[in-house]
Structure 1
Amino acid sequence: MAKIFIETPRLILREIISEDVERVFLLDSNPDVMKYIGVKPVTKLEESEETIKKIRKQYQENGIARWAVIEKESNLLIGWSGLKLLTESLNGFQNVYELGYRFLPEYWGKGYATESGKAVLDYGFNKMNLGGIYACVDIQNVDSNKILKDKLGFKEQGTFIDDLDNATCYWYELEKVKFNKD
């Protein structure tokens, strides 16, 4: 049984478990989903099994990692959202928490990234007592940049070149004192 961390009006955020492999594969094999991620879509179910193993290892080693986002109405995994401890340097930052999310295209534009993002930020600031949370997004990913700035309140700190795909990305920060969960 997967541990549930957060429940919102429309969503359940819980641990990603091995039984999620087919839905994770559906997500990570979709070229539209992976367009701005910096890695190619997966082509084999075994790659998603490895992804899940890595996430589960992060739960054990860091106490947190991305969570499955389950739509209550359908009871389907529609994506993932959550915090990740950056144990390797990204844009010169290390051992900081980064917000990330990814959803299947048929669930885009429905407010799920915002709803899950606010819940995850509330968890990070109020349950984990973090002082700040970071995020990074390819500058060409207009929708995700709008969510971070306009819906979640992140402040742009500059740009950097992502080593994975040589893309220019925005680097964002949100401080606990500036977080408004409403």
Structure 2
Amino acid sequence: MKIYAETERLILREIVIEDTGDMFRLDTDPLVHEYLGKNPISCMGKARAYIDSIRMQYEKYGIGRWAAIEKSSGDWIGWTGLKMNTEWSPNGHSNFYDVGYRFMPQYWGKGYATESSIVARDYFFEHFPNQKLCGIAELGNGASCRVLEKIGLERKDDFFYEPEDIMLAWFELEK
């Protein structure tokens, strides 16, 4: 299992099939999905399919989401990292890299999103120096909007995402 990075408090490693139960626990939690379209998953197969898509990202694009492990407890607390988006085109954007994170609620408010996103941002620009890094957050999710701004992304646009019936904010950073 590859470790991509470590911070003072986190180990950021590849997501593996054995993480399916943790991913299921994360993505069935209605609190976690409050700002993700309010549509938590309902079966283990969807968690496994998501892990399979992340693992495909590692192979195809050399990036992907990472499991976030809290060093002090050894707990799998969620995921963080990068993604090449090819499946959807929000507000006219297509084929873009984004930074994202999703943590279990008991780990919210501890700075893990910012801490891990700084590492993901730095990893991205080290490996993809001439690319643009993007971020998307629901407008109502002020905490996620602040994280994206803290790591240096600039809010460029707000737009209505019709399939989910929500307003989103679009952020970008180029080096």
Q: TM-score range by the shorter chain?
A: over 0.9
For residue 130 of structure 1, report the CA deviation from its aligned partner. Answer: 4.1
| Other-structure match for 2:69 | 70
Contiguous gaps of at least 5 residues in structure 1: 177-182
For residue 106 of structure 1, report the CA deviation from its aligned partner. Answer: 0.3
**1:16 maps to 2:15:** yes
TM-score, structure 1 as length reference:
0.90
Task: Check the 8 A contact 1:39/1:164 in 2, yes or no.
Answer: no
- Counterpart CA distance in 1 for 2:105 and 2:130 is 31
Task: Check the 8 A contact 2:136/2:169 in 1, yes or no.
Answer: yes
Task: Check the 8 A contact 1:124/1:130 in 2, yes or no.
Answer: no
For residue 164 of structure 1, report the CA deviation from its aligned partner. Answer: 3.7
| Other-structure match for 1:115 | 115
Q: Report SS of the residue matched to 1:42.
A: coil
Give, as a single letter, the amino acid of the residue that structure 2 aligns with 1:128: F
| Other-structure match for 2:39 | 40
Give, as a single letter, the amino acid of the residue that structure 1 aligns with 2:53: K
The alignment-based identity, stated in percent, is 44
| Other-structure match for 1:166 | 165
Q: Report SS of the residue matched to 2:158.
A: strand
TM-score, structure 2 as length reference:
0.93
How many residue pairs are counted as aligned between the two chains? 174
For residue 68 of structure 1, report the CA deviation from its aligned partner. Answer: 0.7
Q: Report SS of the residue matched to 2:91.
A: coil
Aligned pairs (5 A) from 1:145-156? 145-149=145-149, 151-156=150-155
Task: Check the 8 A contact 1:18/1:52 in 2, yes or no.
Answer: yes
- Counterpart CA distance in 2 for 1:131 and 1:52 is 25
| Other-structure match for 2:101 | 101
Aligned pairs (5 A) from 1:47-66? 47-66=46-65
Contiguous gaps of at least 5 residues in structure 2: none
- Counterpart CA distance in 2 for 1:164 and 1:33 is 19
Evaluate the alpha carbon distance shift between residue 6 and residue 163 of structure 1 in structure 2; reply closer, same or farther with a 3 A threshold.
Answer: farther
Evaluate the alpha carbon distance shift between residue 172 and residue 37 of structure 1 in structure 2; reply closer, same or farther with a 3 A threshold.
Answer: same
- Counterpart CA distance in 1 for 2:130 and 2:116 is 18
- Counterpart CA distance in 2 for 1:104 and 1:136 is 19
Task: Check the 8 A contact 1:38/1:164 in 2, yes or no.
Answer: no
| Other-structure match for 2:138 | 138
Task: Check the 8 A contact 2:30/2:38 in 1, yes or no.
Answer: no
| Other-structure match for 2:4 | 5
For residue 132 of structure 1, report the CA deviation from its aligned partner. Answer: 2.1
